[in-house]
Structure 1
Amino acid sequence: MSYNVTIRDIQQVTHDVKRFKVDKPEGFEFIPGQATEVAIDKPDWREEKRPFTFTSLNGEPDLEFVIKIYDDHNGVTHKLDSLNVGDQLIIDDPWGTIQYKGPGIFLAGGAGVTPFIAILRRLAREEKIEGNQLIFSNKTEKDIILKDEFEAMLGDDFINVITDEPTDEHIYLDGFIDKSFLEEQIDDFDQPFYVCGPMPFNEAMIEYLKELGAEPDALVFEE
């Protein structure tokens, strides 16, 4: 089923990431971590659907999306960047396999962190976030999405990996957290692992985790 929703608020999150809040259809619910197909309700764009994750929670009056804008081609996010409050989007019913299975390690690459936002926000609100850790890989410090919020929620359990600029953190010039890093940072591979990022990131993380002893059933990722 499709729903027309109106943009209520737009905020800049980082230099290339925006937060869109839209009105929520009556009775619309989702599980934190799920996504929907989104299209822009304008001529020539209504059939151009793209998946975006809900970053709000069910109890909130609006739906929220945190979206990275890609200006290198005239695609959906480039068009989203030109929209204003009052413009309309078209969304579908929720879908997705990323759901919380218990305390574990969240591994995110860039905008792949978005499925984890609602999950961690709900855990923080319910005071159940203890025992979870977010390892977040970005090219530069300015690319870190919701850095202050993650630090407030997770404290020392929020670990940033910066790949393309000098830093005191671990640096991996190929943009990937590698197997030795995971082995150094994680002392228990008998727990859930939540993985989301670009496809090469996902494939590498899943392979490393399996090699280090993680159970395949404990790996949560978008299939």
Structure 2
Amino acid sequence: MKKHIVKIKSIEFINYNVLEVVTEKPENYDFEPWQATEIAINLEGCKNEKRPFTFTNLPREKDLQFTIKVYPSLNGVTKKLSKLEEGAELILGDVFGAIQFKGKGVFLAGGAGVTPFIAIFKSLGFQNEMDYNSLIFANKTEKDIFLEQEFETLLGKRFMNILSEEETQKYPTGHIDRDFLKSIIKDFSQYFYVCGPPEMTESVTEDLKSLGVAAEKIVIEDYD
């Protein structure tokens, strides 16, 4: 695996626990809107501690952007990233990724699982092909929702939030489960893109199949 050392050009919190990191882009470093790379911090004791993160900008742009949820309690890469400043160096690996856009459909995301979809939405928006795609974004509480304005701009009324641990008048409460899906979706012949914790993707996949969705119409990517 080839390693690429890049400098951070900007780093800031866009939500209380979500970082937006912009880095230099290595020469001839090509990726598709759904793909990712492994990142390590170029400091002693951190160089071999790698985690996968999805690119959240368009491939044609001159820099790289990552939208990263920080987990301070784990004392891992994301917490260490949150302490870095502009000019710090990161180590990027090769490009990889299974999620890809196959056709119009419903995107079902749990927490940080929305990140593989961000560049896809930007790419579709750039091509004026966002029509008929929708996003259901599951989080624990309202404060956990991030990039809400951007998703609303891209998707309009085809963007919905659901909260599992907080009741509000603005959003439904619960999980993306069979009853919820059946209550809001009329067409189960379209594609369904699922990304979230493994237990979520497993349960949502089973619920979709029980509602008649063909296996080949379910596109899945887990994150840990």
TM-score scaled by length of structure 1: 0.96
Are 1:218 and 2:220 an aligned pair?
no
Q: Verify the 8 A CA contact 1:111 1:145 in the aligned structure 2.
A: no
Report the alpha carbon displacement of residue 54 of structure 1 after superposing the two structures with TM: 0.4
Deviations 1:95-141 (A, max 9, x none): 11100001100000001000000000111111100010000001111
Residue 162 in structure 1 maps to residue 158 in structure 2: no
How far 1:11 sits from its partner (Å)?
1.9
Aligned-pair CA distance for 1:195: 0.3
Deviation, 1:73, is 2.6
How many residues align structurally?
220
**Residue in 1 that maps onto 2:64:** 63
Q: AA paired with 2:98?
A: T
- Please give the TM-score of this superposition, normalised by the length of structure 2: 0.96
CA contact (8 A) 2:196 2:221 kept: no
Counterpart in 1 of 2:190?
A: 191
Q: Give the structure 2 partner of residue 151 of structure 1.
A: 152
Q: Is the 8 A contact 2:109 2:137 kept in 1?
A: yes
SS in 2 for 1:182: helix
Quick one: percent identity of the two aligned structures?
48
Deviations 1:35-92 (A, max 9, x none): 1111110001111110100001111111000001111132111110110100011111
Question: Aligned-pair RMSD on alpha carbons?
Answer: 0.9
**8 Å Cα contact 2:8-2:89 kept in structure 1:** yes
Instruction: Tell me the secondary structure at the aligned position of residue 47 of structure 2.
Output: coil
Q: For 2:114 and 2:221, how far apart are their aligned partners in 1?
A: 12
- Tell me by how many angstroms 1:160 deviates: 0.5
Give the Cα separation in 2 of the matches to 1:73 and 1:109. 19
For 1:37, the equivalent position in structure 2 comes to 38
Query: What corresponds to 2:136 in structure 1?
Result: 135
Query: Counterpart amino acid of 1:90?
Result: I
- 2:92 aligned residue: 91
Alpha-carbon offset, residue 203 of structure 1:
0.7
Counterpart contact for 1:13–1:19, Cα < 8 Å: yes
Name the SS of the counterpart of 2:203 in structure 1: helix
What SS is found at the alignment partner of 1:72? helix
* Residue equivalent to 1:206: 205
1:123 partner letter: L
Helix, strand or coil for the counterpart of 1:24?
coil
